[in-house]
A and B are shown apart, each in its own frame.
Chain A
């Protein structure tokens, strides 16, 4: 009971802070919007892929980007919490480390999903047609992806002492994950060296799955995409719990 209430407390804090820091939402949506409107619109005026408008083609990729960036950078807040004594207070509370990790993780997923949902709504402007099922499926993909990438951010955050260090490590991670995911290009005709990286990148399956769900074109089956993503998430959750239980 106490553990559940503690879990709720940790989630509640992240959620409240998120709602109060409106600038976080705006700034986290700014970059993806720039990509889809300027890059997608600009390149889309001369490129189309298999009958699909380029702007629409990269839209699932940009959704993935929104989740990826906001959720990994969520780990930064743990570095800030460590700088003030807020985190020490959480650690000294009679809660298991698993609960602390789960509370943070769910808080991060909530933030990321709200941003993802806002981006998803923007799809209407681009002319993406939704049904209730495609929205639900896209949200599921985003949730599973977020649970994995928030965990990555939290693991890195739990080990770092300074925000600068965190940013450095994360930029080394986040950009390759994004560019090698096929968010901006189809992965079917890639040169083999690039193809290997893409197939090994778990984020690829989030992009591909959402493309399958929303646009009906995907390189792998949607079920396979979702399965790989679930496995990725499970692995990251385990690593995250271990990292938290070892934190001093």
Chain B
């Protein structure tokens, strides 16, 4: 029965729970979010993927009514974020990048406070606190002060807190930022469990490619405040049109390679040749015989990183090295004159 309901919940025709209409936010001259139009369906895990400063958190903050848009608007659970911000706030949960639990209080006390602030009924309060604690496996440590928790436990407490008042939508801002790989996998499991057991719609922001790929049903790639692509991770990767073959080679003969019908794209960087190849396992032999003396070959299926590169012309990591949001703000300011 469960399985069936989950399927209908993820049915592509189900009503959108979030719709944005040319949502825009400027900070001075910097356009942080630029006319974004999104439609997010009930019961999906929706990812906003982009480098730091791309506008993910700003978008989230506007949907959560923490920031007022400069232009455009959005509907969250049928409520307009400008006209009906109270109703929006009541129907959503949000988990911030930084921990928002009080260190000195216990996990249970933090949940109790949240239940009071969000008007969780007295009669179900205790029950609900126990439920969410069980959901994130924190029952044993619920009476310990939060300052004794590990990073992963804190994040799980935040997830529990976000869910306490049974929101229809849960916003997670970089839910696994700064956690080690093993803990991140755990958090993903918990997030999936929330969707299956609580039937919430989840919107996450992330700059981790693997997180978007493994966790999200659909991913919107956002760069410089604009949505550049939006689809399931599978279909986004199909856009690349083949596998990636990376050759380490000194003097490649590229002209015969470019003739081949199954080679979609050829790129050359210092010492490396990057090919996008259809049915690469069948054709690898022929490529190798034509291109010349190869030092090494690497064959892989495309990742969202390749998709990001395809659409934006740069990698997520490069964008980060260029600086995040504050650097962009600073640059926009110094350009003002």
Q: How far is the CB of B100 from chain A (nearest CB, A)?
A: 4
Confirm or deny: A91 has a beta carbon within 8 angstroms of a beta carbon on chain B. Answer: yes
Confirm or deny: B89 has a beta carbon within 8 angstroms of a beta carbon on chain A: yes
From 105 to 120 in chain A, residues with beta carbon under 8 angstroms from any chain B beta carbon are: none
Which one, A8, A16, A85, A95, contacts B96 given CB within 8 A? A85
CB distance from B88 to the nearest CB of A (A): 9
B86: CB under 8 A from chain A? yes
> In the bound complex, do residue B104 and residue A85 qualify as a contact, i.e. CB atoms below 8 Å apart?
no
A5 touches B97 (CB 8 A): no
Q: Which residues of B contact A92 (CB under 8 A)?
A: 64-66, 89, 94
Tell me whether A175 is interfacial, beta carbon within 8 Å.
Answer: no
| Complex: chain B residue closest to A91, CB-CB | B66
Contacts A94-B119, A95-B117 given; does A86 touch B89 at CB 8 Å: no
In this assembly, does B118 line the interface, its C-beta being within 8 Å of a C-beta of chain A? yes
**Which of B119, B145, B161 contacts A5, CB < 8 Å?**
B119
Confirm or deny: A9 has a beta carbon within 8 angstroms of a beta carbon on chain B.
yes
Q: Is the CB of B96 within 8 A of A6?
A: no
A binding-site residues for B, Cβ under 8 Å: 1-2, 5-6, 8-10, 12-13, 16-17, 20-21, 84-86, 88-95
Beyond A6-B119, A94-B118, 6 additional pairs, beta carbon < 8 A: A6-B116, A13-B105, A21-B104, A88-B96, A92-B66, A95-B117
Is B96's CB under 8 angstroms from A12's CB?
A: no
A-B contact pairs, 7 of them (CB 8 A): A9-B113, A20-B145, A21-B104, A85-B96, A85-B99, A92-B66, A95-B117
Bound-complex Cα distance A91 to B86 (A): 11
Most buried by B among A20, A84, A90, A93: A93
List the 3 closest pairs (A to B, CB-CB), nearest first. Answer: A9-B116, A2-B119, A85-B100
Minimum C-beta distance from A89 to chain B (A): 4
User: Scoring B residues 268 to 289 as 1 if CB is less than 8 Å from chain A, else 0, what string do you get?
Assistant: 0000000000000000000000
Give every chain B residue within 8 A of A90 (Cβ-Cβ): 117
Q: Which residues of A contact B109 (CB under 8 A)?
A: 13, 16
Contacts of A2 in B (CB 8 A): 119
Interface of A is mostly: helix
- Interface residues as binary, B74-102 with A (CB distance below 8 Å gives 1, 0 otherwise): 00000000000010011000101111111
Q: A21-B104, A93-B117, A94-B89 are in contact. Are A85 and B98 (CB under 8 A)?
A: yes
Contact between chains at A86 and B101 (CB < 8 Å)? yes
Q: Are B100 and A93 in contact (CB under 8 A)?
A: no
**Nearest CB of B to A175, in Å:** 29
Judging by beta carbons under 8 Å apart, are A94 and B94 in contact?
A: no
* A14 smallest CB distance to B (angstroms): 10
A17 touches B64 (CB 8 A): no
Inter-chain CA distance A91–B61, complex, in Å, is 12
Instruction: For B114, list chain A residues within 8 Å (CB).
Output: 9, 89, 93
Q: Report the nearest B residue to A12, measured CB to CB.
A: B113
Contact B117 A88 (CB under 8 A): no
Q: Which residues of chain B in 141-178 are interfacial with respect to chain A, using CB atoms and an 8 Å cutoff?
A: 145, 161
CA distance A6 to B116 in the complex (A): 5
Contacts of B97 in A (CB 8 A): 85
Asked whether A86 lies within 8 Å of B116 as measured between CB atoms, the reply is no
A5–B98 touching, CB < 8 Å:
no
- Separation of A16 and B65 alpha carbons in the complex (Å): 30
Complex Cα distance, B112 from A10, in Å, reads 11
Choose from B64, B86, B113, B161 the contact partner of A13 (Cβ within 8 Å). Answer: B113
